[in-house]
Structure 1
């Protein structure tokens, strides 16, 4: 069985660590990759395929919405989940370049249906 590949993009290392560890413990056969910013994520996506991306909305440089729009253009089959601790209206207006929205903070149980859906 081919493992699913998840990518977490967030500029906060503690959130990256929490999500990466939680996903690895819950789904040990999944490949988990992290990026601290949109630019690193895009560099990775140029060489790799990702099944699901968890993207933070508010990041320095390119924000999560801009990253999601770019990812949609180069990897339209990748499921994109936008995460945010703020509640900007543009994140609630579907359709957008993302498939789901999660307000921070959240636990691993909140992403379970999303991870198992792809």
Structure 2
């Protein structure tokens, strides 16, 4: 392992993880990106062995970043690192083919364990997420794709179609299509009803 991409929009997070990695792997070159654009530029210019990616960053969608890396550098190991609910997002990103999902609620040193597990050829997930996936408990959120969950999450934060399209670098017509699909899956009468149902399900998981 020679080169690691660390993509997170919070500088203090990048510094903390980078320091931990450098202590364990002093010869590794850590490339840092604070948005999707910078992350894409790095993977276009460098052969990345391991990437640690925050789920939610400005400048586009982490889903598209993952897909891009898997196309141009299929051997790159991918670890999603996020403060978002791991039950909601973890298995969706695993379906995209990433090698692990680590919650930011864990100690930063756990990044090293995740790296070792993934480099050994295994998938890294928390015991809690593994148990929930094994039990396969379902609700309306389980029926959503990673992109659909991304859309409804931004809607719940007050983003309109144009704002979502800019945030995820999608066409407004594409955003409208995804929003329509989500409303159908929730059997929601309107966007307000949809957001209310989404928030109620979020509270159930807390």
User: Same fold per TM (> 0.5)?
Assistant: yes
**Structure 2 Cα separation of the partners of residues 7 and 114 of structure 1:** 15
Alpha-carbon contact 1:65-1:97 (below 8 Å) kept = no
Q: 88-97 or 70-79: which moved more?
A: 88-97
| 1:115 alignment counterpart | 115
**Candidates 34, 37, 48, aligned match of 2:35:** 37
Alpha-carbon contact 1:64-1:82 (below 8 Å) kept = no
Q: TM-score scaled to structure 1, two decimals?
A: 0.86
| Structure number with larger C-alpha Rg | 2
- After superposition, give the CA deviation of every residue in 1:70-95 in whole Å (9 maximum; x if it has no partner): 11111111000001101162432332
In structure 2, list runs of 5 or more residues that go unmatched.
120-206
| 2:103 alignment counterpart | 103
Q: TM-score scaled to structure 2, two decimals?
A: 0.52
| 1:13 alignment counterpart | 11
Residue 68 (structure 1) shift? 0.9
**Candidates 39, 51, 70, aligned match of 1:53:** 51
Query: CA RMSD of the aligned region, Å?
Result: 1.7
**Structure 1 Cα separation of the partners of residues 67 and 97 of structure 2:** 5
**Structure 2 Cα separation of the partners of residues 29 and 108 of structure 1:** 20
| 2:202 alignment counterpart | none
Higher helix proportion (structure 1 or 2): 2
**Structure 2 Cα separation of the partners of residues 87 and 28 of structure 1:** 32
Residue 106 (structure 1) shift? 2.8
The ranges of structure 1 where at least 4 consecutive aligned residues each deviate by more than 6 angstroms after the TM superposition are none
Residue 114 (structure 1) shift? 3.3
Residue 108 (structure 1) shift? 4.1
Higher strand proportion (structure 1 or 2): 1
In structure 1, list runs of 5 or more residues that go unmatched.
none
